[in-house]
Amino acid sequence: MARQPAVISRLAERAAGLPTEVSRQLRGLAGNVDAARARLGEIAAGLPPEAKKELTRSARRLALAARSPKKFVAALSAELERLIDVLVPLAGRTPLPLKSPTQARTLVAVAAGAAAAIAEGEELVAVFTAGAAAPGAPAVAAALLTAWAVELWGTTSVRINQIRAGGREVDEDLLRHEVTGALVGSDEGTSPARRMGERVAQRAARRLARRWAAGLAPGVGILYDAYDAQRSVRDVTRLPIDGHTLRSPPAVR
């Protein structure tokens, strides 16, 4: 088996320090596709119907592009650009009831780990070899995109709760830039320019492709994906909230 890139190996080692509850759940998913599929389904049940429809459409298109890793990444970039535009505002209107950043990090880590377990069980290598002809292609594409959507929702939700707890009103445009930046692992999401939006989608696609590539090594992908996904929540909660307007005090009667 080909050796994993050094950055993945290092992060997989760091992932061993995931919270005990996350590690416990991930151990139960490793090598058990049915359990992973059921757990991801439970987590994704909180997503609104509109989001599920968009994810289904994207998963079908990605499955068709899976024959070539290069074509897959290009298709993924286009799908993520579209999904970011559609899902971030929707997540802002329908945040998940997450009480703390720890709860959000656990949620997205387990979702990503479950998707990695599904991809491993469906033999991701075979999907990239046979592409859409591989029986597992639709399942892998759907699982990976669903976990990413949960990551987006968890990151958006915890940021909204953080802003409101700080006595401020959510600026929707700023929220989108903050969440996008956290999802791509950089601050490039802060630019409103269309060309920058395309770069953000490309960076997001590369980050996910790197994450999913770790799944080619049994056992490593689950830990790496879980660790990398929860970093989005961590990064967004480290941002200052002073760009969001202070909430006006109630009028005195």
Mean pLDDT of the chain: 79
Mean pLDDT of 119-125: 65
Whether residue 170 has pLDDT greater than 50: yes
pLDDT at 225: 87
| pLDDT digit string, tens, across residues 208-248 | 777 767 666 666 778 888 988 999 999 999 999 999 999 87
pLDDT at 235: 94
Here the tokens at position 210 are: 């790197």
User: DSSP class of residue 94?
Assistant: S
Q: Angle, to 10 degrees, between the axis of helix 33-44 and the axis of helix 20-29? A: 130
- Greatest mean pLDDT range, 164-173, 186-195, 213-222: 164-173
Mean pLDDT of 84-101: 89
Helix residue ranges per DSSP H, the chain: 6-15, 20-29, 33-44, 49-64, 69-93, 101-121, 124-130, 137-165, 172-184, 194-213, 220-237
Higher pLDDT, 203 or 173: 173
pLDDT at 11: 54
| pLDDT digit string, tens, across residues 131-140 | 444 545 677 7
| pLDDT digit string, tens, across residues 4-62 | 555 555 555 555 567 777 888 888 887 788 899 999 999 999 899 999 999 998 888 88
Residue 117 makes CB contacts below 8 A (sequence gap 6+) with 29, 30, 31, 32, 33, 35, 36, 222
> Cα torsion at 150, 155, 161, 167 (round to 10°)?
-160
Name which of 51-60, 166-175, 184-193 the model is least confident about. 184-193
Higher pLDDT, 249 or 218: 249
Higher pLDDT, 63 or 143: 143
pLDDT at 33: 85
Q: Which residue has the tokens 């960076």?
A: 203
Here the tokens at position 252 are: 């005195």
Q: Which residue has the tokens 């058990």?
A: 32
